[in-house]
Structure 1
Amino acid sequence: MSRDGSVSFAWGDGEHRFRLAIGEWRELQEKTGVGPAELLQRVSTGRWRVDDIRETLRVGLIGGGMKPLEALGLVTRYVDVFPLMDNVPAAQAVLITALVGPPEEPVGKREPAEATTEATEMDASPSPNSMAPEPS
């Protein structure tokens, strides 16, 4: 998995890269009729539809850099012929990675910025200290 929301794993006839960027998400919304969060929920809870699985994998392959006809060929070969349940974990992995990112990148945690203390900020200010007595 990488920072760009892509994931690579063995699927079908070999190792493949899947990625859903904004353009792929829009196509996927059009094909499935739902947005990203609802699609992930349907796949995760077992309430998916055929195109939820099929189109996630096809569009994910295209987003991962595969030519559209090649992606369609793989999906036809490995989704249309095999039991759909075989492909649910793969579709779920593509969706989760695209929405949440790789697990090695904790959500909401950023590198700490250089800490500055209030005293340092006050010392750097050209204004007189408001607590200091006025000069006589």
Structure 2
Amino acid sequence: MADLSYTAFFGDDEHTFKLTPALIRELEAKCGSGIGMIANRLFARNFAQADINETLRLALIGGGTTPKRAHELIAAYVDGRPLVETYELAAKILERTLFGNPNEASNGKA
């Protein structure tokens, strides 16, 4: 099975980010669009702030961070900061969710 998690420094430490199917549904509900549209908006730099904030918050939860701590991290390191500081991270999370890990060896199955 493909590893869809992404690990990066965020805020105060290295964190793992992962959007599970249940969290993708939550992201879609929070942002009012399907995952493909959310990703397209980010990739085209035509996004809403919620696209970034909710992608990061929910992916932190999927990566093992408690919901309370994920909220605290967003409040401390995203809210009120320039969007460019977290845009790239949100785009990488969505890229990994949609396309998998480019460094993972293919097993020859489609």
Residue number in structure 2 paired with 1:79: 78
Per the alignment, residue 102 of structure 1 pairs with 101
The one-letter amino acid of 1:18's match is F
Structure 2 partner of 1:10: 9
What is the rounded CA distance, in whole Å, between the counterparts of 1:106 and 1:67 in structure 2? 31
Q: Secondary structure at the match of 1:104?
A: coil
Q: Does 1:26 align with 2:40?
A: no
SS of 1:9's equivalent in the other structure is strand
TM-score w.r.t. length of structure 2? 0.92
Residue correspondence of structure 1 range 56-135 to structure 2 within 5 A:
56-105=55-104, 110=108
Higher helix proportion: 2
Task: Please state whether the residue corresponding to 2:65 is helix, strand or coil.
Answer: coil
In the other structure, the counterpart of 1:46 is 45
Question: Over residues 53-111 of structure 1, what are the superposed CA-to-partner deviations in whole Å (9 max), with x where a residue is unaligned?
Answer: 0000000000001100000000011110311121100000110101110011367x616
CA distance in structure 2 between the aligned counterparts of 1:110 and 1:102, rounded to whole angstroms: 15
User: What is the TM-score when the length of structure 1 is the normalising length?
Assistant: 0.75
Alignment coverage as a number of residue pairs:
109
Distance 1:35 1:105 in 2: 26
Higher relative contact order (CA 8 A, sep 6+): 2
Distance 2:57 2:74 in 1: 6
Structure 2 residue runs without a partner (length 5+) = none
Q: What is the CA RMSD across the aligned residues, in angstroms?
A: 1.7
- Identity of aligned pairs, percent? 37
CA–CA distance in structure 1, aligned partners of residues 67 and 3 of structure 2: 20
